[in-house]
Amino acid sequence: MNVSSTDLSVLRRCWPEYADVSKTHRVTVHGVEIGGAAPVVIAGPCAVESYDQTLNVARAVRAAGGQLLRGGAYKPRTSPHSFQGLGEEGLEILAEVRRLTGLGIVTEVLDPRLVERVAEQADMLQIGSRSMQNFPLLTEAGRTRMPVLLKRGWSSTLGEWLCAAEYVAKEGNRNIVMCERGVRTSCQWSYSRNIFDLNVIEPLRRATPLPIIGDPSHATGTWTLVPSVARAALAAGVHGLLIEVLEPSGDREQHRCDADQAITPETLAEIVAFARGMQVPGIPEPAPAPTVK
């Protein structure tokens, strides 16, 4: 598929008010604007595991300067025997933690039948890497008109990712934030879970005015790599970061999901300070006509 020959409403050239490559479509989540000059940091546990854990992490995220809380109530796990998330109970915990901390909530929805329910509790719906081509799910997410965080499938082309965004947009919902979370390469797990695709940021920004978030946690799978990949993503032009964080008392071994990639709240504070010190870089003009496959 060659997206250059297709008219997708999410493409810059089909969206007249964003013809200028320096402009980004801003998406506001619980009062936090994504797509402006200031990078946004979204952080939290991989999964909502208990009320205390979620509240402790949320308070730590807030103290570190994170602007939105991300935590999964419904978890897409490779093995059906792994912890699948607390489900409805997790959603209720997130809503209570928002009430106590004021942080807006980003959480994943896995099942088209649950979109309405998750949308009642969340401020932004996450569509995970494994679900990027779940077309009924994308359509339902589009119908809510809520902000959607659309993670890239780990082997998806830029064109496939943009087409996934189009499924949401065609329902009248352009509140979409794209999330690069690492792609599969032959290096898989030899030193890194995935490889953060720095190269995709500029062509994606050229192709669409939708904002882009970088996820160094799933891109690396290893907490020691998260700070450098976070800084690299910001330098490459993302509008913000999505990062997984430990509880302040942080016993890594006790985490039921993605323990090896969670950073401490102290490290998160350092990344936030770095992000605050910079502006999202522009992209060079004039733009060559992008060929997006």
Q: What is the DSSP letter of 189?
A: T
- Quick check: 123 and 144 in contact, CB under 8 A? no
Residue 7 burial class via C-beta count within 10 angstroms: exposed 0-12, middle 13-18, buried 19 and up: exposed
| Size, binding site for ligand PEP by CB under 6 A | 9
Tell which one of 36, 76, 112, 203 touches ligand PEP (CB under 6 A): 76
Residue nearest ligand PEP by beta-carbon distance: 128
Residue 178 bridge partners (DSSP):
150, 212
Show contacts with ligand PEP in window 44-63 (CB under 6 A). 46
**What's the Rg (C-alpha) of the chain?**
18
Binding status of residue 46 toward Mn ion by CB under 5 A: yes
Other Cβ atoms within 10 Å of 136 Cβ, number: 12
Q: How many residues bind Mn ion (CB under 5 A)?
A: 2
Greatest pairwise CA separation for the chain in angstroms: 53
Phi, psi of 80 (to 5 degrees): -70, -10
Residue 76 interacting entry, from ligand PEP, Mn ion, none, C-beta within 5 to 8 Å by type: ligand PEP
What string marks each residue from 149 to 168 as x (binds ligand PEP by CB under 6 A) or -?
Answer: --x-----------------
Closest CA to 234 of 178, 206, 272: 272
Nearer to ligand PEP, 21 or 201 (CB): 201
Look at residue 181 and give the partner it binds from ligand PEP, Mn ion, none, a contact being a CB closer than 5 to 8 Å depending on partner kind: ligand PEP
Residue 25 interacts with, from ligand PEP, Mn ion, none (CB under 5-8 Å by kind): none
What character string, x for contact with ligand PEP (CB under 6 A) and - otherwise, covers 81-110?
A: ------------------------------
Letters for 123-152 (x = contact with ligand PEP by CB under 6 A, - = none) are -----xxx--------------------x-
* Burial of residue 186 (number of CB atoms within 10 Å: 0-12, 13-18, 19+): exposed
Q: Which of 12, 59, 218, 255 binds ligand PEP (CB under 6 A)?
A: 218
C-alpha neighbours within 13 Å on the C-beta side of residue 193: 20
Residues near ligand PEP (CB under 6 A) are 46, 72, 76, 128-130, 151, 181, 218
